[in-house]
Structure 1
Amino acid sequence: MIKIRIPATTANMGPGFDSFGMALKFYNEIWIEEIKQGIQVIQEGKPSEIPLEDNLIYTSLVKILNKYGYDYHGFKIEVKECNIPISRGLGSSAACIVAGITAANALMGNVLSTDDIIREAVEIEGHPDNIVPAVIGGMVVSLMDEDKVIYSKVNIPNDLRMFVMIPNFKLSTEEARHVLPPNYSNGDCIFNISRAAMFVNAMNNGELDKLRVSTQDRIHQNYRINLISDAEKIFEGAREYGSLAEFISGSGSTLMALVDKNNKGFEKKMTSFLNKLQDKWEVHLLEADVEGTTIL
């Protein structure tokens, strides 16, 4: 039996549209066992209600096994822990894809390199921003050069924490992309290029005081924020309680606030603030995961 732990990921992170991502200490745990025949998918003790053809763990697993000529007869896939919610901007699809490919690689005797796993996963997912940190951990800048994935890790200041706010409503990536304009002005592009560059440098240098200005964005957040109930109000509350920066996680609906670990009162104050809103918000104060996907 192969036991895999995969971290949640936050992507975009303000100005890094489709290129910045970070793994978080918030995990799914998936066990995969080869059996003599049939397919069994168990979700936290119960048969999964997701159709097999829509189960990204299974489809990614068999895609890789078929591609590399591995002969199999059946599998038992058990999702032991499912902390990463679906359609909330925390990399749930990336986690499933990476789990399936990691299991396939283990079954085949670890014939795939880390770069191979990333390449195969990005081919399925379509973009690297969640995939790469899910595989290798940490904060990563990723890009596509034709069909090759190029990535580089960014240092994460030791004092930085991520306050994750997950609402009880979903926001599909398709819907979030639909509201984006087809073109951007030179001014907006220059604005984002400068912020993205500053964000990476501020992280590498531990310059927490530069995070607010460097996480500003004109490419996606202004268009998506109205899709997330009370988002502007929540960002205002986070600023009032001393957060370093705020942004939409992925395409939403999860919101993130970057917090200095020495801001001891932030979590309690912000949780109280969220509890007064109409929707229910699940909150977690997390560190970055620096290991990525691991076989337990």
Structure 2
Amino acid sequence: MAESFTVRAPASSANLGPGFDSLGLSLSLWTTLRLTRQARTEVVPLGEALEGTPANESNYIYQAMLLAARKVGRKLPPVRVEIETEVPLARGLGSSAAALVAGLVAGNVLLGEPLSSEDLLDVAAREEGHPDNVAPALYGGIAVATLDKLGTHYVRLEPPAHLGVTVLIPDFELSTSKARAVLPTEYSRSDTVHALSHAALLAAALSQGRLELLQHAMQDYVHQIWRAPLVPGLTDVLEGATRHGALGAALSGAGPTVLCFHDTRQPTGGLHQFLSGVMARNGLHGQVLDLPIDVEGTTVHG
């Protein structure tokens, strides 16, 4: 192994409406680790986004590296770990999944790669409790994944031609635990059928590039209606985005970021204006970005 190497893991957006805890895609914002072998371990978070995160071995990324080592019953060699991220924390863009996957991959490389990519996915999914962010973060593109006692199983889909993503990222954080706490513990049969049928249609539409089906397939009664009070303007976007150029809209993960699909052959100015207006009407500040879907997943260089 080289004396130094770099690991880069992408952001991700999970659920995409009805695909709760099972469907996600990777986005071109990055968490980057630079690792250098040396006599003692150092953990160095860099940049404003990581201010206040631990600069020692309690850092989540180093703990993920240790998770890989424990999985194979070995110790990590001493290393300097520099950490940077473009992924906003606690915004529903998979910042913890990017950190976890980057750390697991880095630890695995340090140990000579005893774990396969399927092993890494299973470890990551069990640590997170669901595979919807970690699968696309690891493999790129769109991932449909399940987690059960037999393992983590996934299908990676290449993004359809002309499918683009626009995200509204508000300037406030929303923890996944808080967003999960508002969900009901039981669902009616009709809501369950709605969820299953729309998740199946969404996966099928994405696999076949049926962009015209997205606004119908992305309807959800499992989590978005319950989380709407935590995300001002969410209902406005879900109900109105398709009138302003979106193919469909969804809460990104647990939020507060909202994702809209668009056709890359069409301009997105009207959609940006609509989303900015929703923020303004709800007294929010933030940014609206067009983000390419990442197709590489986590990469190692050096």
* Fold equivalence (TM over 0.5): yes
- Answering whether residue 59 of structure 2 is matched by residue 55 of structure 1, we say yes
SS of structure 1 residue aligned to 2:154: strand
Give the corresponding residue for 2:68: 64
Gaps in structure 2 of 5+ consecutive residues: none
Provide closer, same or farther for how the CA distance between residues 139 and 16 of structure 1 changes in structure 2, counting only shifts above 3 A.
same
* Corresponding residue to 2:222 among 204, 219, 223: 219
Gaps in structure 1 of 5+ consecutive residues: none
Matched residue type, 2:296:
E
Compute the TM-score of the two structures, normalised by the length of structure 1.
0.92
Matched residue type, 1:78:
E
Provide closer, same or farther for how the CA distance between residues 178 and 7 of structure 1 changes in structure 2, counting only shifts above 3 A.
same
Give the corresponding residue for 2:47: 44
- Answering whether residue 206 of structure 2 is matched by residue 190 of structure 1, we say no
Matched residue type, 2:285:
K
Matched residue type, 1:64:
A
Give the corresponding residue for 1:32: 35
What is the aligned residue count?
295
Equivalences for 1:167-182 in 2 at 5 Å?
A: 167-182=170-185
Give the corresponding residue for 1:283: 288
Preserved contact between residue 49 and residue 88 of structure 2 (Cα < 8 Å) = no
- What is the percent sequence identity of the aligned residues? 36
Instruction: Provide the rounded CA distance (Å) in 2 between the counterparts of 1:232 and 1:242.
Output: 17
Pairwise CA distance, 1:267: 4.9
- Answering whether residue 298 of structure 2 is matched by residue 293 of structure 1, we say yes
Instruction: Provide the rounded CA distance (Å) in 1 between the counterparts of 2:48 and 2:174.
Output: 27
Instruction: Provide the rounded CA distance (Å) in 1 between the counterparts of 2:140 and 2:51.
Output: 28
Equivalences for 1:221-236 in 2 at 5 Å?
A: 221-236=224-239
SS of structure 2 residue aligned to 1:250: coil
1:197-217 CA distance string (max 9 Å, x none): 111111122111111110001
* Corresponding residue to 1:97 among 96, 100, 110: 100
* Corresponding residue to 1:121 among 120, 124, 148: 124
Q: CA RMSD in A?
A: 2.1
Runs of 4+ in 1 over 6 A off after TM superposition: none
Provide closer, same or farther for how the CA distance between residues 267 and 115 of structure 1 changes in structure 2, counting only shifts above 3 A.
same
Preserved contact between residue 139 and residue 156 of structure 1 (Cα < 8 Å) = yes
Pairwise CA distance, 1:73: 5.3
Instruction: Provide the rounded CA distance (Å) in 2 between the counterparts of 1:267 and 1:230.
Output: 14
Pairwise CA distance, 1:18: 0.5
- Answering whether residue 114 of structure 2 is matched by residue 88 of structure 1, we say no
